[in-house]
Amino acid sequence: MSKPRILFIDDEEIVLRSCRRIFANSDYEIDTAQSGEEGLSKAINGNYDIVVTDLKMPGIGGMEVLSRLRKVRPDTTVIIFTGYASVDTAREALKNGAFDYIPKPFTPEEMREVIKNALEARAGKERNMLDLMAIVSHELKSPLSALHTTASTLYKGYFGQLSPEQMKILETIIRNCEYLEDIIRSYLDLSKMELDQLAAFKEEIYFVKDVVDDVLNLPEVADNGKKMKVTKNFQEDIKITGDPRLLKILVRNLINNAIKYGYEGTEVKLGLEKKDNEMIFSVYNEGVGIRPEDGQRLFRKFERLKQPGTEGVKGSGLGLYICKKIVDSHKGRIWFESEPGKWVTFYVALPLTS
The stretch 174-200 carries a mean pLDDT of 69
pLDDT attached to residue 115: 92
Q: What is the pLDDT of residue 311?
A: 61
Asked whether residue 27 carries a pLDDT value surpassing 50, the answer given is: yes
In the structure, what pLDDT confidence band is assigned to residue 85 with cuts at 50, 70 and 90? very low
pLDDT at 138 over 80: no
pLDDT, position 31: 95
The distance from CA 85 to its chain's CA centroid, rounded to whole angstroms, is 41
Which of residues 192 and 282 earns the better pLDDT score?
Answer: 282
Q: What is the pLDDT of residue 277?
A: 92
3-state secondary structure 299-346: CCCCCCCCCCCCCCCCCCCCHHHHHHHHHHHCCCEEEEEEECCCEEEE
Highest mean pLDDT among 243-247, 248-252, 297-301: 248-252
Does 350 have pLDDT greater than 70? yes
* Res. 172 pLDDT band, cuts 50 70 90: confident
Contact 49, 5 (CB under 8 A): yes
Determine if the peptide bond prior to 105 is cis (ω within 30°).
yes
pLDDT tens digits along 88-137: 676 677 778 888 888 888 889 889 989 988 888 887 766 656 556 666 66
Query: Burial level of 72, CB count in 10 A (0-12/13-18/19+)?
Result: exposed
State the pLDDT at residue 74: 87
pLDDT at residue 6 is higher than 90: yes
pLDDT at residue number 90: 67
Q: Check pLDDT > 60 for residue 198.
A: no
How far is Cα 151 from Cα 171, in angstroms, rounded to an integer? 8
Mean pLDDT of the chain: 85
